[in-house]
A and B are shown apart, each in its own frame.
Chain A
């Protein structure tokens, strides 16, 4: 379910989610760039129901759908 939530953001951002695997590097492939980074963080806050302090985040936390799920939804 949480993976679908993440995919929904990427789809709403104009990306073809059928080409994105759970281990696709979202940063390297520029599916999430730094301009949209904060919007993505706010989106995750709302979906996960918690406030996220950007100072506690590592770029690797947001690198793949798998890593995002581990960090925010488990």
Chain B
């Protein structure tokens, strides 16, 4: 029976630091026990957190950065919470998401939510029917948030525009 060991020399040497800049934390703490997988509500889909940790450790850059399973994460944080080594598989998932977004691959549904925040200051809008619903429960039609202070909307926009990544929030900035 022949054995095909994973060839570590195929890996990228700077992948770890690249992911750390994107917020992955120290993936080298991982000893591949798989506790993260057992806890993950997205395991039944195409997200496999232990495998992503392994790709990072071995520098398998293409496999890690092209993994679209990361978008199946619900951000439940169970993997990092219960990791016996104190590694942060969840943060690696988010780092891969950030990499893909900065390559123009932010999923449209998520881009639209960020776009709403740029437009209304909130993740969802306040339409006429929502104003009516507020009135029906005895509340003012507009809550005392940024919606009641249109002059403060420019602060939210300025904060987002201050960074070079704002272009990914505009229509057509994702995929």
Query: Is B one of A's binding partners?
Result: no
